[in-house]
Amino acid sequence: MKKLLIPVMFLVLFISSLPVYALKLKIDPELIDPGKEPYQFNIIIEDAVEGLGGFQFDLLYDRTVITVNDVQFGSFLTDSNFMKLPEDIQNDKGKLSYAAYNPSTTEGPSGIGVLATITYTPSSPDAVCEVTFDESRTWILATGSNDPLQRGLEPGIVTPTCEISVTPGDHGNIGHDDEVFGEAVAVPVQAESNPEFSITPADDCYKIASVTINGTPLDEPVSSYTFNNVTCDGDETYSIAADFKIKQFEITSGVSGD
């Protein structure tokens, strides 16, 4: 037992030491549907708390799948003094480089917002490819500093998507990936995938009463459900709904005496 415990402890310590950065750049939406206009996606910055002083990001993509046409400042920089450097679009290599900086000493914007909006042309509505950041050529600076900040990077994927209608009832939520939905919403998922949804009461006083899939109630309530091979062909529709009810508690009292 001791021989097993030591490597497990090292593994736990290693995992807990992996960097988790609040400051990040991410591609939004994560699923970029090449069959739906406008053919655009955004570069989002999150948790820029030190005042943005400058940035560069390089994107890598499959040149046979998408062609980048244009890059524009996002709303995060609209009221700032930022100056854009000439973008470098190399569609023959599947690469885009984009950078901007704050020439003044005035602190740049902080928080969350759209750094840039990218317009592209897909090769077909069924096109599939990853869009990733080149980590070695992507950096963020705080105002007045030349030292790159630690940051996370979240890629995207060009892929056909299907929508699943999600309807959580009162006192509960339905979740997918890292998102939790407390009200009705259409959730995009990758075509031909097997998306899983979780069903959770809002608090311990409630439990799952029923779960309905594609309009048909399940025989028993479940806490998770996986759709198999979701496709967007024809008139197929997908939906998940859940109802919740308060738990019943039985209270007994006893009287004791002489």
Whether residue 7 lies inside any domain: the answer is: no
Q: Is the pLDDT of residue 8 over 70?
A: no
List the one residue out of 78, 69, 14, 16 whose CA is nearest residue 41: 69
Q: Would residue 134 count as lying in a domain?
A: yes
24 within 8 A of 151, measured Cβ to Cβ: yes
Checking if the pLDDT of 12 tops 70, the result is no
pLDDT score of 162 more than 50:
yes
What is the domain-level CATH number for residue 168? 2.60.40
| 67 belongs to a structural domain | yes
Residues 85, 195 share a domain: no
Cα separation, 102 vs 244, in Å, equals 51
Shared domain check, 165 and 137? no
Which residue range(s) make up the domain with 178? 161-246
Rounded Cα distance, 180 and 188, in Å: 14
Total domains in the chain come to 2
Rounded to two decimals, what is the model's pTM?
A: 0.81
Looking at 120, 141, 158, which one is the last position of a domain? Answer: 158
Q: Which of 158, 185, 220 is the last residue of a domain?
A: 158
Average pLDDT for residues 97-106, to the nearest whole number? 91
DSSP code at position 136: G
Residue 256's pLDDT is what?
Answer: 59
Query: Which residue has tokens 């090292």?
Result: 10
